Chains A and B, each alone.
Chain A
Amino acid sequence: MLSFITRRLLLGILTIFGVILITFILVRVIPSDPAAQWVGGRATPKQVEAAREELGLDKPIYVQFEHYIKDLLKGNLGYSLMTHQPVYEELKKRFPATLELVFISCIIALLIGIPLGLISAKDKNSWIDHFSRFFSIGAISIPTFWLALVLQLIFFMILGLLPSGGQLSMKIKLFQNVPHITGFIFLDSLITGNFAILKDFLKHLILPAICVGAYTIGLVARMTRSALLEILSEDYIKAARSYGLPERLILYSYALKNSLGPTTTAVTLAMGYALMNTFLVESVFSWPGIGKYIADAVVCLDYPVIMGVTIFAACAYILLNLIADIIISLDPRVKL
């Protein structure tokens, strides 16, 4: 087991290095001038030159790469060209918001998706099966950004029930002391018992969560369904049925438990896709997470930010996959 983890970790590090190399090469291909971006819209030629030296852009490429790696090892992801702030600090500030959104959306998605897949697999080809198949495939087909706009249209513009975006309303932020214990508003407001903030936060969370969760629900439902179908056609299930064991026992105790492997993969994939969806959803709802951060950065080619977020997201994804693999390998039938 330990050797498995070590091997995967080493491979992970190698992969991350490859990721860094790829992103670094991509960045150097761009036909734009980072030094000019750094000094902003209306600088003088001398200022641009000075910035070029300051950023180390006049040195040969391999020297730049060396500097970059050295900085990375120290935890320095560079400085955003737009805000002149360290990318690492900005990521730290934004990451909790995205994590909260993704986590809560995934929980909702699992709560809806797994039962949906379950019912679908049980009563195959019934109208429920058709309905849930249509629903889950629809969920993964709908363009997330369009869903976000439509929901905003209905609930904010027309009905006025829900806010247009952000995590908390302005009044709460200005006149209430927002607790900052874990960095997650949901937990913090629960811990301190401040229900006004909790309510406000939930109000702001609903629409983004639905948008991020939609794709995930569909994905999870389909994967659960196919995994369960596969298991239900196994011989031991047939044997259990012929013994007269109640269907419910078979379903929950045997089939569901044995679908741990595919389900874990489903959850991992779900979180990965949810992360992808946040790039689109956070812009529309002004959610202060890393999705909005990188969406803003790609438009103005703020390359340190793009690189920083890419590396960060890739590392998170690799870690997630590693954890998923470890969980799957707990199943004794799986060969390491």
Chain B
Amino acid sequence: MKKYYLLIVVTFLLFSFFAFAVIGNSQTDEFAFYAYNSSPVTDWDPSVEFSNGIVSLNNVYETLLRYDPLEDKFVKLLATDYATSSDGLTWTFTLRKGVKFHDGTNFNADAVKFSVERTINMNKGASFIWAPVDKVNVIDDYTVEFKLKYPAPLDLICSSGYAAFIMSPATVKSHPDSWLTEGHEAGTGPYLLESYQQERGEVELTWFKDYWGGWEGNHFKKAVIKDVSEAVTRHLLIEKGEADITIELPYEDIASLQDNKNVNVLIGPSFQNLILFFNTEKEPLNNKLLRQALSYAFPYEDVVSYCLEGYGRQGRGPVPYGLWGHSEELFQYKYDLNKAKELLEKAGYAKGDLKLLLTYMSGDEAERKTVELFKAKLAELNIDLEIRGMPWESQWALARDNNSDKRQDIFIMYWWPDVCDPHCWLYSNFYSEEEPFFNLCYYKNQKFDSLVDKGFKESGIDRNKATETYIDAQNILVEDAPVVFIYDKKNIYSLNKTFQGFKDNPAYANVVFFYDTYREK
């Protein structure tokens, strides 16, 4: 007995430690909990942030206008009205009165001028969206005028989710830039940044008492956005009712969540699409017929059914479904192995016998599954597709290698808008580039370029004309097949059934505007 004395004591201590910890109770206080799949902020500086941070910044800062792409109209936030001159070069905004910044100062035209100019001058992040702006003029305290170098859709630009935030000049000027980046804010939005714990990936928001929208009715007064990178954990948090809203759950889980009485599943279009880029400068993919053959060999339906579990649709042209500039009349390739073989023969590769290198972003399940399906289909045509997962930076560096022979044959990536404008795809991904940047099919077509330029200018004056021009440009793309438009992603939000008031806005990817939400038991 004495021999085991020590062992008994230790076991008892451990047991009581365990028991003490496990037995307990819980309490409820009202706050909204958004279980986000990544870090909720990268850089708190509103002029710089170009990444996930918009989910946090859009609750703390506001823009002049907010765009609702599903109804194609603008919600007036900090601006109550706006007008364009007939040549499209002057835009005048009337600003809202009685708006206060979190530091107590008043919102006025000076603040708008300051914010826009600061963003342009810092030249970081998405500041390039302001490129058409020549001058910002203060007419009076509540009227601001933008003078443009060439016509451009300024209403879309200033409702962008990035780089269009209005900040308090008083606060920003009295601190160095790093103060904002560290985790401070100077906005007008409905929420204050209560605390930011980077090591825990947590952003805590508290209500701003003097918000111009007022707090009558139902609004959450506290909200938390937390980085929960494990998909399984997010799923369980929603199922157990511990989290209110989450995204990016495995598609396979959605069906069971829809059956769950405590969970609401919201499915809607997003403006994110997955595109496969062919290296049109290197053999063998500089051969248009070969590219078209591969476009017919891609298993579009399988990818949507098995990788997305049906939550997506095959891409039709570069502009995603639901955004203006998208056309259902565009030609769409379909999976047809016979047609693919025909074109392969015409291209001179009747026996296949090709080796191609494809890189995708390692860690991205959807991309991996998609390329594995593609690989299997190409194997049937006797084409050996090597699929290589690489970190994004390495993949991108390889595609921009100075030695163009080293670059990969196929590059796959997602694209999503900074401004809700087809120009975003057509320009960034297909406009001729001297040195490759995001035109990773290295496509160089002057006719196409001139159509894109024309369309951009038209969009500042007459949206319909611009749409027509853009559709012409897209037709050229589809014919030349420098890329495969794989799918347009759908946004799937899983919500706790007591979490009400949320409406998805694909123009602000994954942003939850907590002000509109409330709890209903």
Q: Do A and B touch (CB < 8 Å)?
A: yes
CB distance from B9 to the nearest CB of A (A): 9
* Residues from 180 to 222 in A contacting B, C-beta threshold 8 Å: 199-200, 202-203, 205-206
A175: which of B24, B29, B363 is its contact (CB, 8 Å)? Answer: B29
- A245 CA to B233 CA, complexed, in Å: 58
Selected from A43, A115, A164, A171, the residue in CB contact (under 8 A) with B27 is A171
Residues in B with CB closer than 8 Å to A205 are 21
Asked if A1 is an interface residue, CB under 8 A from chain B, the answer is no
Q: How far is the CA of A47 from the CA of B42 in the complex (A)?
A: 17
Mask for A89-119, Cβ within 8 A of B = 1, else 0? 0100110010000000000100110010011
Which residues from chain B contact A85 at a C-beta distance below 8 Å? 181-182, 198
Q: A43-B50, A199-B21 are in contact. Are A300 and B392 (CB under 8 A)?
A: yes
Interface residues on A, range: 35 or more
Give a binary string over A238-273; 1 marks a CB under 8 Å from any B CB, 0 the rest.
000000000010000000000000000000000000
In the bound complex, residues from chain A placing their C-beta under 8 Å from that of B226 are: 170
Is A157 in contact with B236, judged by CB distance below 8 angstroms?
A: yes
Task: State whether B396 touches A161 (Cβ < 8 A).
Answer: no
The answer to whether B33 has its CB under 8 Å from any CB of chain A is yes
Q: Check B236–A156 contact: CB distance below 8 A.
A: yes
Is B391 within 8 A of A39, CB to CB? no
The answer to whether B124 touches A39, judged by C-beta atoms less than 8 angstroms apart, is: yes
Q: Which residue of B lies closest to A119 (CB)?
A: B7
Q: With A46-B123, A47-B124, A156-B236 as given contacts, are A203 and B6 in contact (CB-CB < 8 Å)?
A: no
Residues of A within 8 A of B261 (CB): none
Interface 9-residue window, one of B10-18, B263-271, B338-346: B10-18
* Interface residues contributed by chain B, number (CB under 8 Å): 66
A174 at the interface (CB under 8 A from B): yes
Question: Does A60 reach chain B (CB closer than 8 Å)?
Answer: no
Q: Known contacts being A44-B128, A171-B26, is A202 close to B20, with CB within 8 Å?
A: yes
B462 at the interface (CB under 8 A from A): no
- The answer, yes or no, to whether A332 is at the interface (CB within 8 Å) is no
Among A28-36, A224-232, A304-312, the stretch in contact with B: A28-36
- B394 with A31: CB separation less than 8 A: yes
Q: Write out the residue numbers on chain A whose beta carbons fall within 8 Å of the beta carbon of B202.
A: 173
Q: A43-B50, A203-B21, A301-B394 are in contact. Are A171 and B28 (CB under 8 A)?
A: yes
Chain A nearest CB from B256 CB (Å) reads: 13
- Interface presence of B473 (CB below 8 A): no
> Nearest Cβ in chain B — how far from A52, in angstroms?
13
- For residue A69, CB closer than 8 A to chain B, the reply is no
Report if B255 contacts A (CB, 8 A).
no
* B residues less than 8 Å from A200 (CB atoms): 24
Task: Say yes or no: A45 contacts B124, CB within 8 Å.
Answer: no
Q: Whole-angstrom distance between the alpha carbons of A45 and B123 in the complex?
A: 11
**Chain A hits for B328, CB < 8 A:** none
Q: How far is the CA of A39 from the CA of B42 in the complex (A)?
A: 11
Q: Which residues of A have CB within 8 Å of B237?
A: 164
A-contact 0/1 string along B419-456, CB 8 Å cutoff: 00000000010000001011000000000000000000
CB of B240 within 8 Å of the partner chain: yes
Quick check: B22 and A161 within 8 Å, CB to CB? yes
Q: How far is the CA of A299 from the CA of B50 in the complex (A)?
A: 20
The verdict on B409 contacting chain A, using a C-beta distance below 8 Å, is no
B50 and A40 contact, CB distance less than 8 A: yes
Q: Which of B384-402 contact A (CB under 8 A)?
A: 391-394, 396-398, 400
The A contact surface, by secondary structure, is helix
User: B62 within 8 Å of A by Cβ?
Assistant: no
The answer to whether B18 and A206 have CB atoms under 8 Å apart is yes
Cβ of A284 under 8 Å from chain B: yes
**Nearest Cβ distance between residue B14 and chain A, in whole angstroms?**
7
Q: Are B199 and A32 in contact (CB under 8 A)?
A: no
Q: Would you call A279 an interface residue if the criterion is a C-beta within 8 Å of the partner chain's C-beta atoms? A: no
Please pick, from B204, B240, B418, the residue contacting A174 in the complex, using a CB distance under 8 A: B204
B104 to chain A, nearest CB (A): 25
Asked if B198 and A164 make an inter-chain contact with CB atoms under 8 angstroms apart, the answer reads: no
Asked if B51 CB lies within 8 Å of chain A CBs, one says yes
- What 1/0 flags go to B21-55 for Cβ under 8 Å of A? 11010111101010000010011000000110000
CB distance from A260 to the nearest CB of B (A): 18
**Which B residues touch A284, using CB under 8 A?**
230
How distant is the Cα of A69 from the Cα of B507 in the complex, in angstroms? 46
Q: Known contacts A174-B224, A202-B20, A286-B228: does B29 contact A37 (CB below 8 Å)? A: no
Chain A residue nearest to B183 in the complex (CB): A85
Is B521 an interface residue when CB atoms closer than 8 A count as contact?
no
Which residues 206-235 in B have Cβ within 8 Å of A in the complex?
222, 224, 226, 228-230, 232-233
CB neighbours of B24 from chain A (8 A): 199-200, 203
Would you give the 0/1 interface string for A285-313, flagging 1 where the beta carbon is closer than 8 Å to chain B? 01011000100000111000000000000
Contacts of A41 in B (CB 8 A): 50-51, 392
User: Chain A nearest CB: distance from B177 CB in Å?
Assistant: 10
Say whether B175 faces chain A, with CB atoms less than 8 Å apart. no
Given the interface contacts A33-B396, A44-B437, A300-B393, does A93 sit within 8 Å of B198 by beta carbon? Answer: yes
B173 interface residue (CB < 8 Å to A): no
Which residues of A have CB within 8 Å of B73? none
A170 to B13 Cα, complex, angstroms: 28
4 A-B pairs with the lowest CB-CB distances in the bound complex, closest first: A202-B21, A32-B393, A288-B199, A32-B394
Chain A residues with CB under 8 Å of chain B are 30-34, 36-37, 39-47, 50, 82-85, 90, 93-94, 97, 108, 111-112, 115, 118-119, 122, 156-157, 160-162, 164-167, 169-171, 173-175, 199-200, 202-203, 205-206, 248, 284, 286, 288-289, 293, 299-301
A-B contact pairs, 18 of them (CB 8 A): A31-B398, A39-B124, A43-B50, A44-B128, A50-B123, A82-B39, A83-B39, A84-B42, A84-B181, A115-B6, A119-B4, A161-B22, A164-B230, A171-B28, A174-B204, A202-B21, A203-B21, A300-B393
Q: Apart from A40-B50, A115-B10, what 11 extra A-B contacts exist at CB < 8 Å?
A: A40-B51, A46-B123, A85-B198, A93-B199, A164-B230, A165-B233, A174-B204, A199-B24, A206-B18, A286-B228, A288-B197
